[in-house]
Amino acid sequence: MSSEPLLRVENLKTQFFTDAGTVRAVDGISFEVYEGEIVGLVGESGAGKSVASMSLLRLVERPGEIVGGEVTYKGETVFGLEEGPDGELREREEMLSNEAVRERIRGNEIAVIFQDPMESLNPVFTVGGQLREVIELNRGLSKEAARAEAIEMLREVGIPDPEERYEEYPHQFSGGMRQRVLIAMALACEPSLIVADEPTTALDVTVEGQIIDLVDELQAKYDTSFIWVTHDMGVVAEICDRVNVMYLGEIVEQAPVDELFHDTKHPYTRALLNSMPRPDRTVAELEPIEGVMPEAISPPSGCRFHPRCPDAREVCRRVHPEPEEVARADSHPHNAACLKHDAFDVGYDGSAPLEGDPRTTAGGSGGEGGE
Amino acid sequence: MAVGESQLESGTESDEGVEARVGWRYTLARIADDTTARWGLYIVAVVLLVALYAFVDSNLSRLTLGAVSDYTFANAIPIFDHPTRIPDPGEGRANVPPAFHPEGTLEYPLGTDRNGRDYFTRIVYGTQVSVMVGLISTVLGLVGGTIIGAVAGYYGGAIDDVLMRAIETLYSIPPLILVIVFTVFVGGANIWYAVLGVGLAFVPVFARIIRSQVLSVREMDYIEAARAAGVRDRHIILRHVVPNSFAPVLVYATLQIGVTILIVAGLSFLGYGAQPPTPDWGQMLNTSHGYMHSNIWLSIWPGLAIVITIMGFNLFGDGLQDALDPRIDD
Amino acid sequence: MGLLRYTGYRLLQAIPVLIGISVITFLLANLGPGDPVSLMLHGQEHDQELIRAIEQRYGLDKPLHERYVTYMSGLFRGDLGQSIHHNRPVADLMLDRIGPTLLLVLSAYAFALVTAIPLGVLAAKRRNEPTDHVSRLVALFGVSTPSFWIGIVLILIFAVTLGWFPSSGLIYPWRPPSTYRSIDGHLELYYESFRHLLLPMIALGTLQMATIMRVERTQMIESLQGEYVKLARAYGVSERTILRKHAFQVAQLPIITIVGLNLSTAIGGAVLIETVFNINGMGRLFINAISQNDYQLVMGITMMLGTLFVVGVIITDISYAYIDPRVTYGETD
């Protein structure tokens, strides 16, 4: 692994300005992706994973907006703000224009595999035609060459009779087959990074397994980096090299995958792991996470996880922890944003535990009263 | 998706299950919030008030101002088509231009017609005819459509097939054509037959909506339960099925009032609706068409009145649709 | 089911509807109090012999069901009967008059599509901006305004006041230029026929335009929110291409259906517009037949217009099935 990351995200903030108030969907996250690795972005739905991954390509739609932070890809500033002479934030000069992001980054440098294979392909164009258009656009190939490449990619992702199926429409493909098409589309652009946004969520388990094997195999072959967005710790264990755990718009733990599983440093990650079905455990042993994730529109004070945290103490209600390095593994830091670690030194040990059922102590934020 | 009938109904299919989230209070609140619906409501309210006013005040003061209105509601019961007093052409000043015209006078704000009748009074009375016609024929279409649609949807099978073919047939004859043939051949150019004809012409529209609603409601558990408990079919249809499929129909009916007024105006314009001297807007346009070069305004005012009225109902219907459809959020 | 079989299936389905139309028109035309015989006699009603002779000639002395059977068997032979007033075969009369009506309706549709689709797309693209508000207002006016009144206003402005366009009649581009005394050569023929057609076309097309524009706007808004649009964006497709190709194609399908279903309003509108602009089409033939109690002609025209609508819907259904790859020509219920 090289020392300079392929993608560096620093303190990224994306907010949605709705009538009900500002939703801080992504609230200052930082992470890196190095060449050839698969980085997981894990969390419950609503944690801000998808918004974060779309922010990397500046694909946030209104009323959402990236309001802060920096995204650097191969040394180029995809997004970056600086303070102007008048004290206002403004876009940095070296930030790529909309045109440049669209033409140079989207597709040919960073490609996306979408969540919903049933809806992501245009119903009125042939599968092959859609694939060809994307290849033409991102690789600068002629129509014929793009067509040949599209058929080749369909074969590559395991679609039988690719020549015939090239002419078919999306509704003639099963969900798993459509997801393969989407993977083919991403790979065909020969990007250095692929953002896979919960690509297997909509599929049934057997197909999910096939798709994951396929990605694993193709990733080894093409040496593409991946950001794998998921809520499924099982998938993370299977394919990711390093993992970022998100909770309510923030990254709460960041570590190489083995480290994360064996030396979990954040109570939320632990809760996620405990709620995961495993062959060595019965259903009765599953421990669902207590409570409901609060709305990002009015996050709890202090540590955002404290209303649901079994280890929460009085101090957690007051002090908001930023991720700190709490251990090191394979030259990668193991960061966690939990006050119980010594790195924080805010008097956690001396603080009184929060009383009672975690759900009832959800201070300041209604789990359900948001609307 | 299969083509054919399903496409014809696509506009209404999506409205299924509206009740699940929508109560009357919620709907009213959304109407109040919706600018479109509010404006529609204002216009409709004004139009209704004008119609009501014409009904109550049969002795508008301007009748005595020299201009003659041939028609007053009170002495024209039962309602339409009773020529009361054929005006004496010399009684009022004919062809007075509107008040803003240099030769106009405030006495006749919209001018007078060839017979010296005050146009403003006639426009006001015309409101009555249009509103009554629009409402009554829509209700007729709604009632007829509800009965046929409910029966077809509830019983299904052969009954459904026969009824729906009949509905499709009726639907295939362009409404204006059907209404003209009905009015003239069955009734003999009388506005009541026109009202009946328009109602008939719009039975298919309502029957289709009701049927597709009923089809979706029919399978619900509580209907099954009622059937299992031995409740009679007619009772089930009237008490359970129809009320539960009414929300989208209501929206449609509101929008349909506009269409109905449009058709009746066309009918009267052709001379087969309201008969002179009844002051009906379409009929006024018919009369003024012959001499539109000499007094342009006589062709403008009734049209504007029609447009404003229909626009009111359309705005209200659009707003109602937004309010009842939880999917659309602006 | 293949497309061909689907077409056959739809045509078969149309048969009971067409028979139904014939029953309805026959009943309406024959049950009413209007008596064609007395109308024809112009005051000689007391001549019983004459009445009987006329009734015999037109078969009016037979019972209703027999007359219907006679009428239907005529229909199958392509014989729509004899016009009482014109004393000519109904079919001939209609053939003479169908041209102007078709020209009017088709050009109105062309006008509606050409204006409504770009406006609808623009409104969707600039949703909730001034452009959108203005075009929605235009659409609202369009669906709320009687076509015949638009015709009257157009005449008042462009014919009476400005004198730019003629206020009545049509020039038929398919006739030789020598038919018209003042016209010299084909170029002038086309120019004149366009000049005559413009106002009635706009008057009849406005309602269609408004309806299509509303649907186009809604469809485009929905289509632009589709996942496939997000995907296209993520792969660097330009907004222009997304709007014109990706979102647009999906949004056009419902338009086809709308065009077919609106045919009945367009045909009804043609009756009014032909009256306003003095165009000798089916519409005026119909109105005259009505006022002359020419029930054979009325039946013929009603049958014809109903058939026109049925055929129009079938054509749009089939083109929908042909264009939309998702359609599986299934049974309709």
Least confident of A8-17, A202-211, C211-220: A202-211
Q: Which residue range(s) make up the domain with B103? A: 39-84+92-324
Task: Calculate the CA dihedral of residues C164, C167, C173, C176 and round it to 10 degrees.
Answer: -100
The SS3 of residue B325 is coil
Domain presence at residue B174: yes
Domain presence at residue A140: no
Chain A nearest-CA distance from C157, in A, is 45
Of residues C231 and B26, more confidence is placed in C231
Average the pLDDT over B27-55 and give the result. Answer: 79
Residue of chain C whose Cα is closest to the Cα of B257: C144
Of residues C285 and B15, more confidence is placed in C285
Domain presence at residue B155: yes
**How confident is the model over A32-70, as pLDDT tens digits?**
999 989 999 998 887 888 899 999 999 888 888 899 888
pLDDT of residue A362: 42
C302 vs B235: CA distance, rounded Å: 39
Q: Beta strand A38-42 with A89-91: parallel, antiparallel or unpaired?
A: unpaired
CB contact under 8 A, A124 and C325: yes
Residue of chain C whose Cα is closest to the Cα of B312: C144
Count CB neighbours of B17 within 10 A.
12
C332 vs B9: CA distance, rounded Å: 11
CB contact under 8 A, C250 and A171: no
Amino acid at A307: P
C315 vs C331: CA distance, rounded Å: 17
pLDDT of residue B325: 63
Q: Which residues contact C88 (CB under 8 A, 6 or more apart)?
A: C82
Q: For residue B24, what pLDDT band results from cuts at 50, 70 and 90?
A: low
pTM (predicted TM-score): 0.82
Q: Which residue range(s) make up the domain with A260? A: 252-361
Answer whether residue B9 shows pLDDT above 50.
Answer: no
Answer whether residue B90 shows pLDDT above 60.
Answer: no
Chain C nearest-CA distance from B58, in A, is 29
Domain presence at residue B2: no
Alpha helices in chain A (DSSP H): 49-56, 98-100, 117-120, 127-139, 143-156, 162-166, 175-188, 205-222, 233-239, 257-262, 267-274
pLDDT of residue A29: 92
C313 vs C318: CA distance, rounded Å: 9
C238 → closest Cβ in A102, A126, A171: A102
Answer whether residue B330 shows pLDDT above 60.
Answer: no
Domain presence at residue A309: yes
- Helix and strand numbers, DSSP H then E, in chain B: 15, 0
**Residue A318 to residues A163, A301, A353, A356: CA-CA distances in angstroms?**
62, 6, 13, 18
Domain presence at residue B219: yes
The average confidence (pLDDT) of chain B is 74
Q: Among C149, C212, C263, C278, pick the best mutation site for testing chain B contact (most B Cβ within 10 A).
A: C149
Domain presence at residue A270: yes
CA atoms in the 13 A half-sphere facing the CB of A187: 26
pLDDT in tens, chain C (333 residues): 577 888 888 888 888 888 999 888 888 877 765 566 665 665 555 667 777 777 777 677 777 788 888 888 888 887 888 887 788 888 889 998 999 999 999 999 999 999 999 999 999 988 888 888 898 889 999 999 999 999 999 999 998 888 899 888 888 888 887 777 777 888 888 888 899 999 999 999 999 999 999 999 989 998 998 899 999 999 989 989 999 888 998 888 888 888 888 888 898 899 999 999 999 999 999 999 888 888 888 888 998 889 889 998 898 888 888 887 776 554 443
- Within 8 A of B184 by CB-CB distance, chain C residues are 32, 34, 290
Is B161 near chain C, with CB under 8 Å? Answer: no
pLDDT of residue C105: 93
Amino acid at C123: A
Least confident of B62-66, B239-243, C210-214: B62-66
Q: Which residue range(s) make up the domain with C142? A: 90-291
A119 → closest Cβ in C227, C232, C234: C227
Of residues B78 and C54, more confidence is placed in C54
From the centroid of its chain, how far is CA A3? 22
- Within 8 A of C321 by CB-CB distance, chain A residues are none
B80 vs B92: CA distance, rounded Å: 24
Count CB neighbours of B59 within 10 A.
10
**How confident is the model over A297-320, as pLDDT tens digits?**
888 888 888 888 888 888 888 888
Answer whether residue A253 shows pLDDT above 90.
Answer: yes
Beta-bridge mates of residue A106? A110
The SS3 of residue C75 is helix
Average the pLDDT over A91-104 and give the result. Answer: 85
Count Cβ neighbours within 10 Å for each residue of C79-103 and write b for 16 or more, e otherwise: ebbbbbbbeebbbebbeebbbbbeb
Number of domains comprising chain A: 1
Domain presence at residue C84: no
Beta-bridge mates of residue A332? A329
pLDDT of residue B66: 34
Contacts for C215-218 with beta carbons within 8 Å, 24 or more apart?
C215/C120, C215/C254, C215/C255, C215/C258, C216/C116, C216/C117, C216/C119, C216/C120, C216/C121, C216/C124, C216/C251, C216/C255, C217/C120, C217/C121, C217/C123, C217/C124, C217/C132, C217/C135, C217/C136, C217/C139, C218/C124
Residue pairs between chains B and C whose CB atoms are closer than 8 Å: 182
Q: Which residues contact A320 (CB under 8 A, 6 or more apart)?
A: A301, A302, A303, A304
C125 vs C219: CA distance, rounded Å: 11
Please report, for the domain that includes residue B236, its CATH number: 1.10.3720.10
Average the pLDDT over B118-134 and give the result. Answer: 81
Tokens, residue C255: 């338009």
Chain B nearest-CA distance from C231, in A, is 23
What sign results for the dihedral spanned by CA atoms C113, C118, C124, C126?
negative
**How confident is the model over B290-329, as pLDDT tens digits?**
777 777 888 888 899 999 999 999 988 888 877 776 544 4
CB contact under 8 A, C321 and B5: no
- Within 8 A of C226 by CB-CB distance, chain A residues are 119, 122
Answer whether residue A18 shows pLDDT above 90.
Answer: no
CA atoms in the 13 A half-sphere facing the CB of B283: 22
Chains that touch C (3 or more CB pairs under 8 A): A, B
Q: For residue A30, what pLDDT band results from cuts at 50, 70 and 90?
A: very high
Chains that touch B (3 or more CB pairs under 8 A): C
CB contact under 8 A, A134 and C235: yes
The SS3 of residue A196 is strand
**How confident is the model over B137-173, as pLDDT tens digits?**
999 999 999 899 988 888 888 999 899 989 989 989 9
**How confident is the model over C119-157, as pLDDT tens digits?**
999 999 888 888 888 988 899 999 999 999 999 999 999
Give the residue among C318, C311, C333 at the shortest CA–CA distance from C15: C311
Of residues B28 and A173, more confidence is placed in A173
Under 8 Å between Cβ of B47 and B308: yes
Domain presence at residue A175: no
pLDDT of residue C327: 66
Q: Beta strand A38-42 with A242-247: parallel, antiparallel or unpaired?
A: parallel
Number of domains comprising chain B: 1
Domain presence at residue A104: no
Give the residue among A179, A221, A172 at the shortest CA–CA distance from A203: A179
Q: Which residues contact C73 (CB under 8 A, 6 or more apart)?
A: none
C332 → closest Cβ in B4, B180, B270: B4
Find tokens 């098409």 and name the residue. A181
DSSP state of A353: B
Burial class (CB in 10 A: 0-12, 13-18, 19+), B232: exposed
**How confident is the model over B95-118, as pLDDT tens digits?**
777 777 777 677 677 777 776 677
- Within 8 A of B300 by CB-CB distance, chain C residues are 153, 156
Answer whether residue A102 shows pLDDT above 70.
Answer: yes
Domain presence at residue C28: no
Q: Which residues contact B186 (CB under 8 A, 6 or more apart)?
A: B193, B197, C28, C31, C32, C33
Number of domains comprising chain C: 1
Q: Among A124, A179, A183, A227, pick the best mutation site for testing chain C contact (most C Cβ within 10 A).
A: A124
DSSP B22-69: --HHHHHHHHHH-HHHHHHHHHHHHHHHHHHHHHH-TT-GGGGSS---
CB contact under 8 A, B307 and C332: no
pLDDT of residue C286: 92
Answer whether residue A360 shows pLDDT above 50.
Answer: no
DSSP state of A161: S
DSSP B58-120: TT-GGGGSS---S--SGGG-SSSS----PPPTTSS-TTPPPTTSTT--TTSTT-B-TT--BHH
Count CB neighbours of C180 within 10 A.
15
C34 → closest Cβ in B172, B188, B306: B188
- Within 8 A of A121 by CB-CB distance, chain C residues are 228, 231
Please report, for the domain that includes residue C224, its CATH number: 1.10.3720.10
Domain presence at residue A338: yes
pLDDT of residue B327: 47
